[in-house]
Structure 1
Amino acid sequence: MAMARTPSQTTLILDKHKEEKQNEEESVNEEEESHEVVESFKCLTLLHKRDFIKRGEKLYGQWKQEQKLRASRMELHLSEEWALDKLIEEQLSRFDAHYSETMTQCTPKDVSQLLMPKHRLPLEMATLAWFGNWRPSAILILLYSLSRSLSGCLKLDARAYRVLVQMIRQTRIEEAVLDEEMAEVQATCILHLPFSPTKNSNNSRGKMACIHSEFKKIHRVITQAQKLRYKTLELVVKKLLSKAQASEFLVAFAGIQDMVHEYAACQKRQKGPVIVTIKPFGMSQVAQ
Structure 2
Amino acid sequence: MTASETFLIGGDLEVRRLGFGAMHLRPEPAEDRDAAVAVARRAVELGVTLIDTAHMYGWGANEDLLAEALHPYPDDLAIATKVGFRQTTTDQGWRYAGAPDELREQVDEALRRLRLDRIDLLQLHRLDPGVPLADQLGALRDLREEGKIARIGLSEVDEGELAAARAVVDIASVQNRYNLLDREHEPVLKACEEAGIAFLPWRPVAAGASGAQSEQIATIAKELDATPTQVAIAWLLAHSPVIVPIPGTSSIAHLEENVGAAAVHLSQDQYDRLTR
The TM-score normalised by the length of structure 1 is 0.22
Tell me which of the two structures has the higher relative contact order, counting C-alpha pairs closer than 8 angstroms and 6 or more residues apart.
1
Higher relative strand content: 2
More helix by share: 1
Structure of greater Rg: 1
Question: Could you tell me the TM-score, scaled by structure 2's length?
Answer: 0.23
